[in-house]
Amino acid sequence: MNLLWPDALWTLLLLPALVAAYLWLLARRKKNTVRLASVALVRQALGSGPGWRRHLPPALLLAALAVLLLASARPTARIKLPSQQETIVLAMDVSGSMRATDVAPNRLVAAQEAAKTFVAGLPRYVRIGVVSFAGTAAIVQAPTFSREDVVAAIDRFQLQRGTAIGSGLVLSLATLFPDEGIDLSQITGQKAMPPAPGDKKEKKPFTPVEPGSYSSAAVILLTDGQRTTGPDPMEAAKMAAERGVKVYTVGVGTKNGEVIGFEGWSMRVRLDEDTLKAIATATRANYFYAGTAEDLKQVYQGLSSRLVVETKETEITAFFALAGALLALLAAGLSVAWFGRVM
């Protein structure tokens, strides 16, 4: 636990003074009692007396004051809280290599099923967009709250030739930042994202931020990691890092891969983990390996909990204030119940 205003702890020095004042009052009351003619007669009149109950309400009140004074120092702690990420973009590989059957029934179908399970587990306040990429990239679903539209977009995937991982990642960034005017024509050979209707604001100069610092969105990149065309994935990762966007990468397929054939040609497709790890590292995110369909589902479940809940340094003054108030109420309640007055 840390304190945002540690100087406030000096106020705790009031507590010994209050304890001393309480002891002085007890001694004064005892002195006045002794002045009576017979102590025995007083004890007989008063009975056994309240005993320890006399001191419990003041002790609770003192504890309440201590907690409230500690709250004034504004304590913080690392606790798990719901994530503030409001938009997730799924960038999914639909290249020919995704027809490989080393992940049953094949890489694409396994990825689709796992992605739909992931979507169903996200909170309703999170928007989800879907980008598919092969030789080129396309937005198959703009960010939306509708889970039905996202699932329908995932089901529409069609395998194509080529694997442009960089294009998929750059288009994902353009989807998250449509107002930045990311020039896709120079990077991916595609047209730049058009401005929103009626929005012709001047383009602001771009200022890089700390990698991983943008907490309102994230990209999940699923691919076998073998780039065959398009921009360098690491250049695209640099763009994401400069915007603070975390790119969680998921490698699907076995490391040995397999030979696949299509329309008279054949090729061996392997998982390129090095590229995916490098992308995740550059953006302060994580890489996940999915060698089987079950692995892929578990990866997405882990990503869901990772994105929904995050650990961060948070001010917990309110908790201390609540504890202090409850202690004070308990002290007053016991005093009224036992002695018919508030101390």
**pLDDT of 242-291, one tens digit each?**
999 999 999 887 766 565 555 555 555 667 888 999 999 999 999 998 87
Conformational region of residue 201, where left means phi above 0, alpha means psi within -120 to 50, and beta covers everything else: beta
Q: Percent of the chain at pLDDT above 90?
A: 27
Closest-CA residue to 116 (of 101, 128, 105, 104): 128
CB 99 within 8 A of CB 108: yes
Mean pLDDT of 138-149: 94
Radius of gyration of the chain (CA): 32
CA dihedral of 92, 98, 99, 103, whole degrees rounded to 10: -100
* pLDDT confidence of residue 310: 60
For 103, residues 6+ apart whose C-beta sits below 8 A from its C-beta are: 110, 252, 253, 254, 290, 291, 292, 293, 296
Give 4-64 as a DSSP string: S-GGGGGGGGHHHHHHHHHHHHHHHHHHHHHTSS-HHHHHHHHTT--GGGGTHHHHHHHHH
Question: Which pLDDT does position 328 carry in this prediction?
Answer: 85
Indicate the helix (H) or strand (E) that contains 313: strand 309-315
Q: Residue 148's pLDDT band (boundaries 50, 70, 90)? A: very high
**Any residues with CB less than 8 A from the CB of 136 and at least 6 apart, and which?**
162, 164, 167, 188, 189, 190, 230
Q: Which domains, ranges and CATH numbers included, belong to the chain? A: 2-78+315-339 (no CATH), 83-291 (3.40.50.410)
| pLDDT over threshold 90, residue 337 | no
Least confident of 6-15, 72-81, 103-112: 72-81
How large is the average pLDDT for residues 300-317? Answer: 71
The strand ranges marked E within 224-308 are: 246-252, 258-262, 265-269, 287-290
Q: What does the pLDDT read at residue 262?
A: 55
Give residue 69's pLDDT band: very low, low, confident or very high (50, 70, 90): confident
Of the pLDDT bands very low, low, confident and very high (cuts 50, 70, 90), residue 89 is very high
What is the pLDDT at residue 161? Answer: 85
Instruction: Categorize the per-residue pLDDT at 7 as very low, low, confident or very high, splitting at 50, 70 and 90.
Output: confident
Highest mean pLDDT among 31-45, 90-104, 251-265: 90-104
130 band by pLDDT with thresholds 50, 70 and 90: very high
Q: How much is the pTM?
A: 0.65
Which range, of 110-124, 125-139, 298-312, averages the lowest pLDDT? 298-312
